[in-house]
Structure 1
Amino acid sequence: MLNYPEIDPVAFSLGPVQVHWYGLTYLVGIGMAWWLARQRADRLGLSKDQVSDLIFYAAVGVILGGRLGYAFFYHFDRVLADPLWLLRVWEGGMAFHGGFLGVAVALLIFARKHRLSWLQLGDFVAPLTPIGLGLGRLGNFINGELWGRVSEVPWAMVFPGGGPDPRHPSQLYQFALEGVLLFLVLWLFSRQSRPAGSVAGLFLIGYGILRFLVEFTREPDAHLGLLLGGLSMGQILSLPMVAGGVALMVWAYRGQNKKQA
């Protein structure tokens, strides 16, 4: 068993304002995505200003979609009982699947505004997404939240608030898989010209499968528990992503074959 490195979730304070590591991980993730997008801007014919606008649209989509997704996927009863809770973002609560839908809508709006292909824009953004995902999971680990299930593996940890039993550091699994591994796969795959929609499709498949697998080591939400077929909410929400990713890649490559024929 390893000792959990109890890190103060507050990185520093500016007078009465406390800056948390979790918030900094979001800022760093957005900053890194912006920098990498500028390096690849010519692939989509985007100007530097358009890249900045694109990252802004995506950031707004992440925040709004993530909050709404967390509320409606995981705490819909709380929204019904207290609708104003939805606005109390300082109490925490974000969900990836909601953030993903928020970004999809934001990209659609951006694509229409600049007369771009939505699928090509999705291909452009997909390799950048795991950066924020991975850093966000590091933020979860620092906060000592979203811990894993009880385990006897040598690297299990006792998390504050997680009871006396050692648990999987599932946040670090997600950092390594959904962050580092998925980024490398998508970055390498997108280095060559691909059919429109195929990079985004691979992201959907990759994230969906990796999230589905990691959920077996992650403690289910206490108020939800395991649902249909013993699956967690995260697993149930990931299955449509995999199906959609497969359909998108099949459609993309069939379209390419038709053009070549």
Structure 2
Amino acid sequence: MLTYPEIDPIIFSLGPLAVRWYGLMYVLGFASSYFLVRKQIKQHNFTQLAKHFEDINLVLILSVVIGGRLGYILFYNLDYYLSHPSELLAIWAGGLSFHGACFALIVSGWIYTRKHKIDFWPSADIYVATIPIGLGFGRIGNFINGELYGRSTDLPWGMVFPTGGPVTRHPSQLYEAFLEGLVLFTLLWWCRNRPWDKRPNWPHGSILALFLICYGIFRSIVELAREPDQQIGFLFGMMTMGQLLSTIMVVTGIALWVLRIRSTRHPEK
């Protein structure tokens, strides 16, 4: 068994203002995405997107926060927030859903690019290739907070989390940081130039489809070791909410890939 490294979630305080590790992880994720997206825009001379770069970044950041919060409320704890409406906006207390954030990102990105006549598919590929960095940082933030821990285990790297009782548990946050962060980023970053080669099986939108498929698979795997949300438990006797939403992501990603390939083989006249 490993000893859980208890780290104060608050880095420092200035009066009533507290700077937390979890918030810093979000900042690092957004900053990393900002610079890597800008790098790709310059690399591909994507002038359409370059003209709206700052504005679309603001829209997408807001989408992450708003979509993540609404997703958590709707998918994970609707009854509680209906009974405690004053806590709907208390994001600092925790409660963001990546599935909700992902849906909001895609919808808001599609609306913005359509309104400003920017090609959505290559834009989506450029941005989505950088998302795993933020996911990795976010899971490290969850680990520091001692939240979203795993199920009980007798494996030698199990840990006892401060809020998880005396049970030795999987450090599932670190599993997610590795798979959804490092592995997924490496895969997408390696594949990111393929759509620009205009190969039949890699049209624009392929990186977005690949992200949906791989994230859904990785998340579903980690959910096998992650403690189900107490207020929900298991669905259909064996599935967690995270697995259900991730399965929808995988199916959507496969359908998107097929549709994008067909669109390049049979373009509209």
TM-score clears 0.5: yes
The structure 1 segments of at least 4 consecutive aligned residues displaced by more than 4 Å after TM superposition are: 46-49
Which among 198, 203, 216 is matched to residue 195 of structure 1? 203
Partners of 1:75 and 1:20 in 2: CA distance:
24
Which among 191, 202, 212 is matched to residue 204 of structure 1? 212
Residue of structure 1 in register with 2:20 after alignment: 20
Residue of structure 2 in register with 1:83 after alignment: 85
Aligned-pair Cα RMSD in Å: 1.4
Counting only pairs closer than 5 Å after superposition, residues 19-38 of structure 1 correspond to structure 2 as 19-38=19-38
Give the AA of the match of 2:227: E
Any unmatched runs of 5+ in structure 1?
A: none
Partners of 2:186 and 2:65 in 1: CA distance:
25
Residue of structure 1 in register with 2:9 after alignment: 9
| Residues 114-170 of structure 1: per-residue CA shift (max 9 Å, x gap) | 211222221121101111111000000000000000001111111001011111000
Deviation at 1:94, TM superposition (A): 0.5
Contact 2:152 2:167 in 1 (8 A): yes
Deviation at 1:80, TM superposition (A): 2.1
- In the alignment, is residue 58 of structure 1 matched against residue 66 of structure 2? no
Residue of structure 1 in register with 2:172 after alignment: 170
Give the AA of the match of 1:23: G
- In the alignment, is residue 228 of structure 1 matched against residue 236 of structure 2? yes
Cα separation, partners in 2 of 1:109 and 1:148, compared to 1, 3 Å: same
Contact 1:37 1:51 in 2 (8 A): no
Which among 222, 238, 250 is matched to residue 258 of structure 2? 250
Deviation at 1:90, TM superposition (A): 2.7
Partners of 1:139 and 1:218 in 2: CA distance:
16
| Residues 65-95 of structure 1: per-residue CA shift (max 9 Å, x gap) | 0000001100110122232321222322111
| Residues 18-50 of structure 1: per-residue CA shift (max 9 Å, x gap) | 100000000110001001011011333246562
Deviation at 1:14, TM superposition (A): 2.1
Partners of 1:39 and 1:243 in 2: CA distance:
31
Give the stretch that moved more between structures: 182-191 or 192-201.
Answer: 192-201
Give the stretch that moved more between structures: 136-145 or 85-94.
Answer: 85-94
Q: TM-score, normalised by structure 1?
A: 0.95
Partners of 1:145 and 1:132 in 2: CA distance:
17
State the identity as a percent. 47
Deviation at 1:198, TM superposition (A): 1.0
Counting only pairs closer than 5 Å after superposition, residues 131-142 of structure 1 correspond to structure 2 as 131-142=133-144
Contact 1:137 1:175 in 2 (8 A): yes
Partners of 1:139 and 1:177 in 2: CA distance:
15
Give the AA of the match of 2:231: H
Give the stretch that moved more between structures: 244-253 or 211-220.
Answer: 244-253
Contact 1:41 1:51 in 2 (8 A): no
Residue of structure 1 in register with 2:221 after alignment: 213
Partners of 1:227 and 1:237 in 2: CA distance:
11
Deviation at 1:239, TM superposition (A): 0.7
Alignment: residue pair count? 259
Partners of 1:48 and 1:209 in 2: CA distance:
33
Partners of 1:124 and 1:240 in 2: CA distance:
23
| Residues 191-222 of structure 1: per-residue CA shift (max 9 Å, x gap) | 22230211100000000000001000000001
Contact 2:67 2:101 in 1 (8 A): yes
Give the stretch that moved more between structures: 31-40 or 88-97.
Answer: 88-97
Give the AA of the match of 2:165: G
Contact 2:49 2:123 in 1 (8 A): no
Residue of structure 2 in register with 1:145 after alignment: 147
Contact 2:48 2:118 in 1 (8 A): no
